[in-house]
Structure 1
Amino acid sequence: MSGVTLHAITVLGHDRPGIIAETTEQLAALGLNLEDSSMTLLRGHFAMTLICAGDTTVAAVEQALAPLAADGTLTVTVREVPEERPGRPAGSAWVLTVHGGDRAGIVSTVAHEIAAVGGNITDLTTRLAGDLYLLVAELDLPADTDVSGLEDALRDAAQRLGVGVTLREAEADDL
């Protein structure tokens, strides 16, 4: 194989110390460069997604990471992905916060309102603490977005859901 290949790698399962260290050690040993990553705990379950670049095959990455999944507590997937270097968004960055009582449909309802104006959710985090639900999303909105109209639509949706919503322009420190 010649040339740089991008690999999308996911590691999911029961959390324990050392998962990140073990994963990245194996990737570094293959000469892979870690270009993008996201890791979180979801109710005690570890979830990590990595984009790595290097001159190696999917099979070689799978073989190197196989010991992580050997005891059955983790699932590891590897797939080649095309190079996509998005340019700087033509629009603007925003932060959406939704909070209130937990119920089904919160994410889908607000995501629909964002999509309806051509907005893109670039990062999304949700947390449930008892009965309180919190959603924080980073958005890219097209330059011609009627932000006041979007805020009205989000407020209407939030009222139907019984939650609160705020939309504010992101500052460099937010991203």
Structure 2
Amino acid sequence: MHELAITVIGPDRTGIVADVAEALAAVGANLTDSTMTRLRGHFTMTLICDGLTERDAERALEPLAAAGLLATVRRVEPKAAGEPYLISEPYLVSVHGADRLGIVAAVTRVIAACGGDITELTTRLSGPLDLLVAEVDLPAGAGDELAERLAVAAAELDVDVSLRRSDTEIL
């Protein structure tokens, strides 16, 4: 069987994660990766699972629609066995400053230009202030180049940017 990517979106309420997990467990799904968050009162969840068919997942999640949740299921291909992983270094990028159009686009473009793979990204708007936090895997030795490019982007955007190496000991 293939891996499935499932998304669940809708108005937030207590118990959604438990409802989704129970529905999938009942049909034999093994949850291998997941993330969830609340965005301005809206629940969002993405997960990867295996052990069931697309149709079984869709049927299991159908009752969630009555609670106003939209669930989508699609098949994804797992990383091929033996496919090499790039040697990378984990970093944390944080940006804060006055909210303005284009901050996320500019910062993520700089990260991409340095070969960075964004593994987690969060943005929050709090009044007039914008906060972006990204976990990034960089090619070995690319940290200094990214720091220089982020400094240029920060000056252009009039925001504060920090880049620090992540502690892999806790992972």
Q: Same fold (TM over 0.5)?
A: yes
Cα root mean square deviation, aligned? 1.6
Q: How does 1:1-175 map to 2 (within 5 A)?
A: 4-54=1-51, 56-71=52-67, 73-84=68-79, 88-145=85-142, 147-172=143-168
TM-superposed CA distance for 1:150, in Å, is 2.0
Give the letter aligned to residue 169 of structure 1.
R
Which secondary structure state, in structure 2, belongs to the residue aligned with residue 70 of structure 1? helix
Gaps of 5+ in 1: none
Identity of aligned residues (%): 51
TM-superposed CA distance for 1:174, in Å, is 6.8
The list of structure 1 runs, each at least 4 consecutive aligned residues, that deviate by more than 3 angstroms after superposition, is 85-89
- Residues matched between the structures, number: 169
User: In 1, are the aligned partners of 2:96 and 2:131 still within 8 Å (CA)?
Assistant: yes
Provide TM-score, normalisation by structure 2. 0.92
Q: Distance in 1 between matches of 2:26 and 2:119?
A: 31
Listed one character per residue, the Cα deviations across residues 141-160 of structure 1 (whole Å, up to 9, x for unaligned) are 11142x33321211111111
Deviates more, 1:100-109 or 1:87-96: 87-96
Provide TM-score, normalisation by structure 1. 0.90
